[in-house]
Structures are given as C-alpha cells and as structure tokens.
Amino acid sequence: MPYATEETSSVAWFPEGNLCHSKTCGPRTNGIVLEAMKGKLSQPSEWDRSEPFCVMDLGYVYNEYQRWTSLLPDVKPFYAVKCNPDTHIIKVLNAMNSGFDCASRNEMELVMSQGVAPERIIFANPCKKISDLEYAQQSGVRKMTFDNEAELQKIRQRFPDAQLILRCLASDPSATYSLGSKFGASSATSVKLLQCAKSWGLSVVGVSFHIGSNAKDPTAFDKAIQNSREVFDAGLRTGHDMHLLDIGGGFSAHNFDAMASSIRQCIGKYFCGIDVEIVAEPGRYFAAGALTLACGIIGRRDAAANDEDKENRHMLYLNDGVYGTFICNIFEPGPQPKVLRASGDFYPLDSEDEYERYIIWGPTCDGTDCVAESVALPKSLAIDDWLYFPEMGAYSTCLSTGFNGFHSDRETIYMSSDPAADIYL
C-alpha cells in the first residue's frame, strides 16, 4: 500500500504550503509535514521506534504572523511564551519584531538569550516572585502587570521605576480556561489601585485584560474593551500617563477572522481618537498548528463479539498520553488522530478501509490516561502502526511529565512549508 504523494493522491493540493484538505490528512497538515514523518519512520532500524516524535512547521508560524498583521495591523502581538517555549518559534517571531509575554525569570532569560531586547517583553504575571521581580529590574524589563495592592507594595520596594499595566477583570464564559477567578481587578478596585500607585509615586502606563484561554465568543471583547476604556480614563484623571492597552490572549487560528473583526470594531468604538499603543498576548494562535505529533500503537484490546459492552469493544494503547503531550485532553477533546502508517505501509490519503470506533489510551497504568473516546479509525490497525495528531503545538510538550517512568522529552523535526522561513531552521 504506497504512501500518497502529491503526484499519486486524489486529494486536492494547494500551492500555499501544500495544504491538504482530505478527511485522513486533516485541515492544516501539509504535505511537507507528512513527508517528514514518513522519512522519520523510514530510517534504519537503529532508530528507537518506541518513542513518539514531533514535526514543527516554522512556515506555519511565519504565515500566521503575516495573517495577524493583515487582520489586526494596529495590534502588536506579544507571544505568550508559556504556550510553547520552543526556541525556534521564538527565533521566527523575534525576527518579525514580535514582542513576548513572559511570566517568570526563566522565560525572560530564554527570550533574551535569543536576542530579544528587554523593551519587547511584558512581565505579564500579576503575582510575581520577588526574585523574578529583582531579575526584571536588573535586566531592564520594565513593563509588567499587577492587579492588587500587595503587588504594588512589592514593586514599590524593589522596582519603583517600572512601567505598570493594571490587569482588569474580564471573562468569556465560552473560553476553555477561565482566568477571571484568579486574576483581574474589578472596576472599583481598579480605581483604588490607580490612586494608590499615584500616591506611592508609581507609574501606571496602561490597562490589560484576558478573556480566557481558547476563547470562542468574539463579542466578549466588547465588554472587556469598554471596561478598559473606563479604567484608562480613570488613570488619566488620577494623573497617570496612560498610553497602552493590552487585550490579552485566548486567540485561536480557527476563529481568528471573527475575533479580529470584533476587536477592530470594539477598538474603533471605545478608543477612537485616543493616542494608545495596543498589544495582545497570543500563544496558541501561533503555536497550536505549528506542531504535529506522531504516536505509535503499543497495544490493542478487543472484546468478544458477545460482550455486553457494545460501546467500548475496541481499544488502542499509544506510547504517549495525558501525562505526556496530551495533558490538555483532560480538560477538552484534543485533535482527531489520523493514520500515518498501517500494517507496515504508509497510509494512502484516499483509503477506503472499513472503519470502527476505538477508545485510545495512553501508556501509563492510570485509568484516567485516556487520549480520546469513540474515535473512528481503520478496522485493520495493529501494534506498531502509527497515528498522527495535527495542531498539537499549544500547552502540550511544555507540560509533559515523566510519570510512570515514561520519557517526557519529544524529539522534534524542524521544517518549513514556506521558503521565507527556511532561514530559521
């Protein structure tokens, strides 16, 4: 069964990065990524085939930055390093003059080691370790967020000339991960904090908010930006030099057009005629679609035909799970797997194999290590076949653990679907 190439497959291929839109390939996985995975599995037998591996497409990062600047030309992205601290992503975004959202000393050290100037970093953690705050002061990272009086006191004592950004309360109920219960000052508290900062001689230069990670409701920005304008004006009345609006993160590449349209309208509605620098903190927007994960099937279990449990008859066990790259699957369904190799051959994109539904488990002994339920895949799958999962670049490899003795590191192959990004390989 030959591997489907651009010449042999019946699916449509597009010149812009060879995007493949077939059922088996997946919406954003391109031919170059598939060829890289095929090449990895075709290596001589000395390669350890027991471990999962990744392919990162730096061309994806490059193109998504271009898309961002096209749809939100007046909003400068500050990449949320926590999402995926891969230095190759940082290099691409640094070369494109992106800013960086860092939450710790280690993240600041990482981006500055790649040539990022401290002026292009926001220390976007409203509750900072004192040692990290002192490092920011020594390194010249002046822009930082806060949302409480205790944090102001800490900054007053150790970094009084910092440029402060007041984190305001905001939320999108449809977001996968809400942040409003942990961070963000209410409107009344914001006014008090602005007055407190002024009385202590501290400089508040802007307002920030975060509606939640993986936000889905474009209209959530309306209330958040309206509230930001009210706090912004309160800062001006208090005597602060307010000139920055940070609209946070939560962006996904899938609904970015709608999000960008809503943001443009809201900024025009609430900040029209105001001299303000606008920034954002996208993470998964840049990282999610850049990484594809390949996993091997290490076990299969099938119940008898007369088994009472008709829903869970077929099970696959992978060499990666929720204690590894799939940790976010605990909170939300992850990307649907596709077949990379079946029964020793590379799977054709136009295969008509009979499908059945599987539960997919990770390798650990924990009964909650479930990657996916009721997934339709070819009936013929067997041990040593491989699956791949597109869009695995966000909050995955950086959260992987070594539970049960399984390796947390993932070998990554770097490539580019856009020649313009080849220089970052």
Question: What residues are annotated to the active site?
Answer: 365
Gap between the Cα atoms of 95 and 91, Å rounded: 6
Question: DSSP E strands: which ranges in 156-290?
Answer: 163-167, 203-208, 244-246, 277-280
Gap between the Cα atoms of 40 and 351, Å rounded: 22
What tokens appear for 420 in the block? 């313009």
Which has the closest alpha carbon to 4: 303, 354, 294, 339? 339
Which has the closest alpha carbon to 318: 36, 52, 56, 55? 52
Cβ-proximal residues to 16 (8 Å cutoff; 6+ apart), any chain: none
Identity of the amino acid at 64: E
372 bridge partner residues:
360
Identity of the amino acid at 241: D
How distant, in Å, are the alpha carbons of 73, 78, 181, 210 from that of 219? 20, 22, 20, 14
3-state secondary structure 317-337: EECCCCCCCCHHHHCCCCCCC
Give helix 256-270 / helix 58-71 axis angle, nearest 10°.
30
Pairing of the two strands 163-167 and 203-208: parallel
| DSSP H or E run through 371 | strand 370-378
